[in-house]
Structure 1
């Protein structure tokens, strides 16, 4: 039963520096348990690729299983996913791992509607089911659809929950250019910014560099801050006298751990330096005065959610679509950088302390700017969980489910 499955997952919840994988036997057990479910609990299925998805799913699950009284299946590849450990009779948890049983589960899924943040459905090993499942995609950041992701990353979903109007405009433009059937686009919103707004606590105003807390939170990959000049930037900030927290992307720990270890080895014992590798941790976001990043979506969350400035380094964009210009729309993550703070080229690295001091000089004006930007670019502020839950439930109720079997 579900209690036995939760006990099997429990060991994976402890802190981890590397991904924890479910055993093949456990994946088979959960795959089989899901297949044996009666039809009604399979009306609404949520699939989570990683435990990092839970803070996006949580407000939707709370609405579906709380106020709306729905029962859902929560299926994850990650045994440490907190969605598998919720103490609710209305959440049926299953962990199918990230290997053979996940591929098989996708191919044979018999359900009404699936809500997921899994990108590129149908483009690689995870395909649409042989059964007519209705697939709903939900964004996990505010970035645009047409530069950081593949050109066809969103083509194979039936419905897309859009965080803001820019995403809806980009999807419609691609449909128009490529002659694709129109998807259902739902004005959803963005739970992460709402969470930051709700939980926000401001640090004491800084009086000098020694009590100015800088958060360095770059993206991951070869052309990002840590891989290009991370050690040099940390040296500059520490020498200038700032408090510094390094918050690398979890993919950096998995792919190029040496860049983190070199910096940590040099500064770990310094009282003004801290290293945070838990992506669910929020203290460093709340307690800092300014973020430094490159193309990370976290910069938009920080600026719009906490109304604090972001210093961007202008590195080559993360692009998996070489033809993104064909849409004729400037990507949101490119357009918004100047509005969220300041933009420096790598050769201007030495100017970083002066730019930080300037950005922190007028906090009230900056907050007013962020409030205007937020209202313009994010749907349903404060109500995204309800909007998504109601959309998913409405789709599930429209479907022929349980499906009628021909005589």
Structure 2
């Protein structure tokens, strides 16, 4: 009870500061994050924005562990809100309010309503995936502007606006800084395990994911090899299925050459991996287009949160490119995976050329996305 009162008093103090008259210039541009994990989505844009010496802005987070709260820059002002968050959202008066949380103005749990005082609600994608399969049907309808990762986002959103007679949004061809960051860091990365071949196992979360079915068979198959195997569960799986996660962790930790990585504090194993094994995780595209190395997809059920996705008559990009950036195999074929894995490693140069071409075709502004997006944000403040 006492801690609750202290938290409320702390937020009330921050609330008054945030909405004070003197702080108004810092409310013209505001970022909002629901979780610490999304800081990596915003960071490239923030770095570019801070190169402009005249800009100052705020960053609101709903996660007390968000790294932004320890970020010290005189023109970047972080705030943590939880108990007061709804009131902040209702009252905010930004010229540009930047999010990476879908379902604005929807009836979903924890969804927020638009403030009439905000000029532009801007959405940034934190995944390469299409808009109409893995998200709720109306997930992006309420935004005023959207930074599109590639032509698929532009086409899908325009098609939805046409089919359902929705108001047109500003669809900006920006790209995906996350891929750019992986690519740039990978180019300068020095392997820490040069004498071992690393395989990264990075499944998604949700019903029917690889950690719920198939992971034991995969571990049993790979333990007979000399590969260094890194098992990297999704944070949402750890949060939602702690008992199952603990079972898998205990099994992994008994095996030589296996590593259990249940944090995202470092990307080293993404850069180490010669191949990534996943199911339906968005890491497949970040890995394939960032490192120019192939992916093995285990065929688990698609993540379908929009039962009406076929109405757009557009194949989701995560289904369309599945056979282009790697090799899909069924759950039953996992025991025969090793020769496939070795073949991908042996033909790494061929895959590199293929993935370079696909990235150029399907991602806007490779290695320039953060600058492109920052320029648009700055234009909204003029």
TM-score bin, normalised by smaller chain:
over 0.9
Residue in 2 that maps onto 1:334 = 319
Residue in 1 that maps onto 2:151 = 165
Query: For residues 272 and 102 of structure 1, do their structure 2 counterparts lie closer, same or farther at Cα, with a shift above 3 Å needed?
Result: same
Of 85, 104, 107, the match for 1:121: 104
Say whether residues 1:61 and 2:49 are aligned partners: no
Three-state SS of the structure 2 residue aligned to 1:253 is: helix
Q: Deviations over 1:332-383 (max 9, x none)?
A: 1111111111000112121111211111111111100010001001111111
Q: TM-score scaled by structure 2? A: 0.93
- Cα drift, residue 118 of structure 1: 1.3
Query: For residues 23 and 299 of structure 1, do their structure 2 counterparts lie closer, same or farther at Cα, with a shift above 3 Å needed?
Result: farther
Residue in 2 that maps onto 1:393 = 378
Residue in 2 that maps onto 1:240 = 225
Of 130, 138, 143, the match for 2:124: 138
Residue in 2 that maps onto 1:52 = 37
Residue in 1 that maps onto 2:3 = none
- Cα drift, residue 212 of structure 1: 2.5
Residue in 2 that maps onto 1:250 = 235
Query: For residues 363 and 198 of structure 1, do their structure 2 counterparts lie closer, same or farther at Cα, with a shift above 3 Å needed?
Result: same
Map 1:141-290; keep pairs closer than 5 Å: 141-200=127-186, 201=189, 203=191, 211-290=196-275
Query: For residues 272 and 88 of structure 1, do their structure 2 counterparts lie closer, same or farther at Cα, with a shift above 3 Å needed?
Result: same
**Range with bigger deviation, 256-265 or 160-169:** 256-265
Contact (CA 8 Å) 2:32, 2:99: kept in 1 or not? yes
Residue in 2 that maps onto 1:101 = 84
- Cα drift, residue 242 of structure 1: 2.5
Contact (CA 8 Å) 1:299, 1:310: kept in 2 or not? yes
Contact (CA 8 Å) 1:203, 1:288: kept in 2 or not? no
Residue in 2 that maps onto 1:373 = 358
**How many residues get paired?**
371
Say whether residues 1:35 and 2:24 are aligned partners: no
Query: For residues 40 and 205 of structure 1, do their structure 2 counterparts lie closer, same or farther at Cα, with a shift above 3 Å needed?
Result: closer
Contact (CA 8 Å) 1:43, 1:72: kept in 2 or not? yes
Q: Deviations over 1:208-245 (max 9, x none)?
A: xxx33111000001211001121221122112342211
Q: Deviations over 1:232-268 (max 9, x none)?
A: 2112211234221110000011000222211221231
**Range with bigger deviation, 320-329 or 72-81:** 72-81
Residue in 2 that maps onto 1:73 = 58
Query: For residues 37 and 55 of structure 1, do their structure 2 counterparts lie closer, same or farther at Cα, with a shift above 3 Å needed?
Result: farther
CA distance in structure 2 between the aligned counterparts of 1:72 and 1:114, rounded to whole angstroms: 10
CA distance in structure 2 between the aligned counterparts of 1:307 and 1:70, rounded to whole angstroms: 36
Query: For residues 244 and 24 of structure 1, do their structure 2 counterparts lie closer, same or farther at Cα, with a shift above 3 Å needed?
Result: farther
Residue in 1 that maps onto 2:68 = 83
Q: Deviations over 1:77-119 (max 9, x none)?
A: 112212232221110111112xx41112111112211011011
Moved runs in structure 1, 4+ residues, more than 4 A?
202-207
Three-state SS of the structure 1 residue aligned to 2:63 is: coil
Q: Deviations over 1:282-318 (max 9, x none)?
A: 1111111111101100011101100111000111110
Residue in 2 that maps onto 1:305 = 290
Q: TM-score scaled by structure 1? A: 0.87
Contact (CA 8 Å) 1:307, 1:371: kept in 2 or not? yes
Residue in 2 that maps onto 1:10 = none
Query: For residues 130 and 288 of structure 1, do their structure 2 counterparts lie closer, same or farther at Cα, with a shift above 3 Å needed?
Result: same
Three-state SS of the structure 2 residue aligned to 1:196 is: helix
Contact (CA 8 Å) 1:110, 1:129: kept in 2 or not? yes
Query: For residues 84 and 182 of structure 1, do their structure 2 counterparts lie closer, same or farther at Cα, with a shift above 3 Å needed?
Result: same
